[in-house]
């Protein structure tokens, strides 16, 4: 029994030397450096925000509603009927609360990438590996800035006055962004470990909510029971609020207060930064 072989199967395809010459022309692009790779991942993270505007609305609209409710519903009771005075006290605190809540979004994004296998593709590319983590963290700094501008603008409309002036406000926002950036490394680690957006949200809320409520964000700690006041005094969020409140109000901050916040931020970075990168390298 013989099998007819198509003529096309035995005929050799002609070599396209022009195509080979075009493919050989020029040098191969080099490996992406740390800066360019990080910027590419930053751009990718910003595109995610562009196509999911709810990520911005969720962390700005809700705090604005809280600002209105606490100022005009509870502010009178908390400040002897003077809602204006409570606004001066409350706005720096809710500003800190808003920005720190945004930090969990980087962990949610990374957990989504890990769950979908995107990181496996990233690790196979010839690029600086930490850029897949650092890029989204830098993109979050943009969210922190936008949320701060919105909160301060809305506060000014309601009657808030930053006696510290432009310099005080800018310094306060910079300190807040630095602390939030360092705190974000905790949620990157949680995102890589959990690999589920819902789990990251649950864990981050379980940590952030008690810390923000048991702080000096909403009320003066002097009105609290002694045991709770003692906890508030060592709560890192209280330390950040004290610095932000002092800079924006013009009351100023001591070197010790500012140094404590920066030391806590550095501790977060030094602890969770290496743990995050180790987890990222050993993911399977």
Domains of the chain by residue range: 36-281
Question: What pTM does this model have?
Answer: 0.82
Mean pLDDT computed over 51-72: 75
pLDDT at site 14: 65
β-pair partners for 127: 32
Among residues 28, 29, 32, which one has the least CA distance to residue 122? 32
- Each residue of 127-142: pLDDT tens digit? 777 788 888 888 888 8
Residue showing tokens 């890589």: 192
Q: Which range is least confidently modeled, 62-66, 230-234, 255-259, 273-277?
A: 62-66
3-state secondary structure of 160: coil
Residue 151 has pLDDT above 80, yes or no: yes
Residue 114 has pLDDT above 90, yes or no: no
3-state secondary structure of 252: coil
- Each residue of 95-108: pLDDT tens digit? 999 899 888 888 88
pLDDT at site 15: 65
CA-CA distances (angstroms) from residue 281 to 133, 269, 274?
11, 18, 11
């Amino acid at each position: 029994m013989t099998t007819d072989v198509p003529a096309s199967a035995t005929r050799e395809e002609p070599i396209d030397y022009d195509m080979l010459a075009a493919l050989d022309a020029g040098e191969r692009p080099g490996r992406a450096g740390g800066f360019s790779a990080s910027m590419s991942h930053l751009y990718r993270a910003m595109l995610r925000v562009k196509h999911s505007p709810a990520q911005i609305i969720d962390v700005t609209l809700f705090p604005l509603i809280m600002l209105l409710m606490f100022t005009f519903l509870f502010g009178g009771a908390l400040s002897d009927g003077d809602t204006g005075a409570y606004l001066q006290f409350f706005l720096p605190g809710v500003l800190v609360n808003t920005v720190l809540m945004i930090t969990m979004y980087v962990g949610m994004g990374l957990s989504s990438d890990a769950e979908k296998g995107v990181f496996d593709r990233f690790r196979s590319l010839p690029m600086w590996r930490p850029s897949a983590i650092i890029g989204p963290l830098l993109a979050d700094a943009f969210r922190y800035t936008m949320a701060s501008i919105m909160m301060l603008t809305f506060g000014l409309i309601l009657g808030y006055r930053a006696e510290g002036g432009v310099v005080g406000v800018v310094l306060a926002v910079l300190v807040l962004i630095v602390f939030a950036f360092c705190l974000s490394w905790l949620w990157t680690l949680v995102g890589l470990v959990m690999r589920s957006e819902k789990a990251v949200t649950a864990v981050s809320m379980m940590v952030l909510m008690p810390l923000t409520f048991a702080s000096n964000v909403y009320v003066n700690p002097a009105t609290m029971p002694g045991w709770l006041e003692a906890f508030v005094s060592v709560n890192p969020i209280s330390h950040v609020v004290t610095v932000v409140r002092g800079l924006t109000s013009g009351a100023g901050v001591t070197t010790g207060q500012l140094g404590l916040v920066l030391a806590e931020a550095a501790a977060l970075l030094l602890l969770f930064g290496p743990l995050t990168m180790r987890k990222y390298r050993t993911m399977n």
